Amino acid sequence: MTLLTAVFAAVISTVVWYRNAPGDEMKVSILCFMYWGASLMWLVDAIFEYAELREAYFTPEPADMLNDFFLGISVVALGLVIWVVILLVKDPKGAVKKVLLKK
């Protein structure tokens, strides 16, 4: 479930990036790389888990599934927070600087 949530986040962020490409004023590419990196790593985790559990991997307990989904949503939220912090620090539009220097 965590893998699925991360993959959906990666796909959505990639579509958003592509809509504005080749421009990347909002630094959405950072979000894409972050979610794709995490998705690839969780894919490996899933493959190893599948090798151990076999078909039981596809029939998780509802409580585990809910916990994994909650984790996935939290991971997406953390990714968004990291992206916002990077965006505000890099300030590609110079908006933060303008607001701070405004008299």
Q: Where are the beta strands (DSSP E) in the chain?
A: none
CB 75 → another protein: shortest distance, Å? 5
User: Closest by alpha carbon to 60, among 51, 71, 47, 69?
Assistant: 69
From the CB of 14, what's the least distance to another protein, in Å? 13
Least distance from another protein to the Cβ atom of residue 100, Å: 27
Q: Which of 21, 53, 74, 98 binds another protein (CB under 8 A)?
A: 74
Picking from 72, 59, 74, the residue whose alpha carbon sits closest to that of residue 1 is 72
Contacts of 16 (CB under 8 A, 6+ apart): 28
Could you give the C-alpha distances from 102 to 1, 91, 92, 93, 94, in angstroms and in order? Answer: 46, 16, 18, 15, 12
Out of 7, 28, 34, 87, the only residue in the binding site for another protein (CB under 8 A) is 34
Residues 41-70, mask of contacts with another protein (x by CB under 8 A): xxxxx-xx----------------------
Binding site for another protein (CB under 8 A): 2, 6, 29-30, 33-45, 47-48, 71, 74-75, 78-79, 82
